[in-house]
Amino acid sequence: MQVIGLTGGIGSGKSTVAHLFAVRGIPVIDTDHIAHALSTPPSPLLSVIAETFGSDHLLPDGHLDRAKLREQVFHNPQAKQALEAILHPAIHHDVTQQLARLPATTPYALVVVPLFFETGAYYDVVTRVLVVDCDEQTQLARVLSRPGLSKETTQAIISLQATRQQRLSGADDVIQNTGTLDLLEEQVNALHQHYLGQS
């Protein structure tokens, strides 16, 4: 079974692309969703995060204060490394377990890894890398149209991620997400047929 690693910078449209593959019946494993589940109570990893960063990073109901942790992580490289050391091995393990449970008849699966090139941790899992690409100005505009992230934090996130050129140079396949949803869907459908032909 082929495993396609889907990645791209913040605001590039990874979630939209993943959804378009999912509606075509392709299993999608999203590492962000796994990270969210692993840091939601009851979770042993949540206790480790609280011990590492302080109990003030928990909300009164015991859930993680994600906004507070995000601000700290993206302005403090040591905090970022500490959080990654807690989460990344567990996420990787979960991904491999989910892939192993897929039916043998599955033509291919998609694993969404926003920090694919930054971590380098999924080359042992994926067979191809698909990059969703757009320019930085488009990224910034899209992220700022959502609630929750300031321009400063968004720019900090972009600066910590792989550059656009690094992603493109490491890609086996590229989807350009700078046009309409119809154009995006055309590209997804073409790649879907291509991947089916390789299975």
How far is it, in rounded angstroms, from Cα 29 to Cα 61?
28
Q: Which helix (H) or strand (E) holds 133?
A: strand 128-133
Question: Does pLDDT of 157 surpass 90?
Answer: no
For residue 115, tell me if it sits in a domain. yes
The pTM (predicted TM-score) of the whole model is: 0.89
- What pLDDT, in 10s, does the model give residues 135-153? 988 988 898 888 777 888 7
Domain count, the chain: 2
137 shares its domain with 196: yes
4 shares its domain with 61: no
Structure confidence at residue 29 (pLDDT) = 98
Before 60, cis peptide (omega within 30)?
no
How far is it, in rounded angstroms, from Cα 100 to Cα 26?
15
Q: Which tokens in the block code for residue 45?
A: 């990893």
148 shares its domain with 90: no
C-alpha of 3 from chain center: 15
Domain that holds residue 77: 37-101
Question: Does pLDDT of 64 surpass 90?
Answer: yes
- What pLDDT, in 10s, does the model give residues 75-134? 788 998 899 999 999 999 999 999 999 999 999 999 999 999 998 999 999 999 999 999
For residue 32, tell me if it sits in a domain. no
Is residue 39 a contact partner of residue 84, using CB atoms and an 8 Å limit? no
How far is it, in rounded angstroms, from Cα 45 to Cα 78?
18
